[in-house]
A and B are shown apart, each in its own frame.
Chain A
Amino acid sequence: GAGVSQTPSNKVTEKGKYVELRCDPISGHTALYWYRQSLGQGPEFLIYFQGTGAADDSGLPNDRFFAVRPEGSVSTLKIQRTERGDSAVYLCASSLTSPGPQYFGPGTRLTVT
C-alpha cells in the first residue's frame, strides 16, 4: 500500500516568512509524528498526534511552530517568522499503534535564506 507522503519535497523561503508543510500518513494509522533532522544528526522529535489531538508537543522548539491534524488524517506543520536556524529536513512518521514501529515519509527539505 501507499506509504507516508509529504509535500513539498523541497521548500526555499526567506527569513521571516511563513511556511506550511503537509503530511499524509499511511491509511488507518492513528498516530502521527513530526521530527526534524539536521545534517549528521538523528531525527529530533517535535510533536505527536493521536487522532486529532496533539498528545505530546514537548519537542516544539518555540511558539513559532504549530501543527494541526483536524480530521485525524492529514497533518500540517506551520512555522511562522522563519529563521535560518529552522533549515533542516522535516520528517513525518505514522504508526498503527503507539508506542509502535514508526514509518517515515520522504521528508521536506526546508531552506531559510
Chain B
Amino acid sequence: QKEVEQNSGPLSVPEGAIASLNCTYSDRGSQSFFWYRQYSGKSPELIMSIYSNGDKEDGRFTAQLNKASQYVSLLIRDSQPSDSATYLCAVNDSDKLIFGTGTRLQVFP
C-alpha cells in the first residue's frame, strides 16, 4: 500500500512568519509531487507542482523535493491569515494521485 504521510497539525504561525509543511512518501518510483490548498468546505486547489530534486519557487511559495529521503516540503513566506487552510500533499502512483491527510495551517494576526 503506497502511502503519503503528513502531520495533521494544526500548525500555528504568526502573521509574517515562514510556515513549513512536510510530507513523506513510501514509493521510490514516484515522479510527480503536488501541493494543494483546501479551505474549509471547498475543494482542493493546486498551488505547486515539483518533479525534480531541489527547490521550486512561485511567489511566496517554495516547494522542496528530496527523492533520496522521499521527502517533499512546502514553505510559505510572509504568511497571511488568508493562508489558513489545510494543505494536502499528493504524489503520483502511475496516473492517479495518492494524497496525505493534510496539515491544517493557522496563521494568527
Give me the interface of A with B, judged by CB distance under 8 Å: 31, 33, 35, 40-45, 48, 50, 55-56, 59, 89, 91, 98-107
Return the CB mask of B13-31 against A: 1 if under 8 Å, else 0. Answer: 0000000000000000001
Please give the distance in Å from A71's CB to the nearest CB on chain B.
21
Whether the pair A43, B99 counts as a contact (CB closer than 8 A) is yes
Q: A99-B92, A102-B46, A104-B43 are in contact. List 9 more A-B contacts (CB 8 A).
A: A40-B101, A42-B4, A42-B88, A42-B102, A55-B95, A56-B95, A91-B43, A99-B31, A101-B46
Give me the interface of B with A, judged by CB distance under 8 Å: 4, 8, 31-32, 34, 36, 42-46, 49, 88, 90, 92, 94-102
How many A-B Cβ pairs are below 8 Å?
Answer: 56
Report 25 cross-chain contacts, Cβ distance below 8 Å, ordered by A residue: A31-B95, A35-B97, A41-B101, A42-B4, A42-B100, A42-B101, A43-B88, A43-B97, A43-B99, A45-B96, A45-B98, A56-B95, A59-B96, A91-B44, A99-B31, A99-B32, A99-B95, A101-B46, A102-B46, A102-B97, A103-B46, A104-B36, A104-B44, A104-B46, A106-B43
